[in-house]
Amino acid sequence: MQVGESIVSPALGHRVTWREVGAEVLAFDLRMRGNAPAIPLHVHPRQRERITVVSGTVHSRSGSRDRELHPGETVVSPPGEPHAIVPTRGQDAEVIAELSPALAYGEFMERSFALDRAGHVNRRGRSNPLRMATLGMADAEFFMARVPISLQRALMTVFNRIGRALGYDRD
C-alpha cells in the first residue's frame, strides 16, 4: 500500500485510492458504483471510522441512526458501533474514509479486492467462508453486526485453519 496507489474490486464495484497509510490512520478515497452490492452492516471494536461524502449521495447507518449524506457531509462511527454506507438512487458515489487506528484494515482490503479480481467472489461480493477466513478479517477488526464477536473470532480461527489446509490462501 502506497499513497496514491489504487485497487479495484469489480464485483463490489469499488475503487480505493490510498490517501494516508500509517499505524494511527488509514485514509482512502472510496468510489462506489451506484448499483454495487451494499457493504454489510459491520463493526470495528477498536477503530473509529469517519466517512465524508465527496460526490453523489449515500445512505448511512451508524448505530440506530439512518440518514442520507450529501457532498461535504460527514458521519463518524465510534469503536463498537455498527455502521454501513451505500450509494442512493443507483448513482455512483465517492467518499473519503478514515479508520483510526489503522490496524490491518488496509491489508484486509487489498486481499479481499485481490480475491474479487481472481474471480473468487460472486455478483453480491461474497465468497466461500473458508476462503474469506484466510483474509485476516479478525486482524482488520471487520466483524458482522448482530453476531457476537467472540463467536465470529472462534469461527474465523477454525475456518482459517481449514481454509489454509485446503489452499484457499494461495490462489
Residues 11 and 91 reside in one and the same domain:
yes
pLDDT of residue 120: 87
Residues 115 and 54 reside in one and the same domain:
no
Identify whether the C-beta of residue 58 lies closer than 8 Å to the C-beta of residue 10.
no
Residues 85 and 154 reside in one and the same domain:
no
d(CA 4, CA 82): 29
d(CA 47, CA 133): 20
Residues 11-64: tens digit of each pLDDT:
889 999 999 999 999 999 999 999 888 888 999 999 999 999 999 999 999 999
Residues 11 and 88 reside in one and the same domain:
yes
Among the three residues 66, 100, 134, which one is the final residue of a domain in this structure? 100
Residues 30 and 114 reside in one and the same domain:
no
Residues 64 and 133 reside in one and the same domain:
no
Q: Which domain does 154 fall in, by range?
A: 105-165
Residues 94-153: tens digit of each pLDDT:
999 999 999 989 998 998 899 889 888 887 777 888 888 888 777 778 899 999 999 999
d(CA 122, CA 3): 29
Residues 116 and 138 reside in one and the same domain:
yes
Residues 85 and 136 reside in one and the same domain:
no
Q: Where are the alpha helices (DSSP H) in the chain?
A: 105-117, 129-133, 137-140, 149-165
Supply the pTM of this predicted model.
0.89
CA 149 to chain CA centroid, Å, is: 16
Residues 43 and 57 reside in one and the same domain:
yes
Residues 59 and 109 reside in one and the same domain:
no
Report the CATH number that the domain containing residue 67 is assigned in CATH.
Answer: 2.60.120.10
Query: Does any domain span residue 170?
Result: no
Question: How many domains would you assign to the chain?
Answer: 2
Identify whether the C-beta of residue 87 lies closer than 8 Å to the C-beta of residue 93.
yes
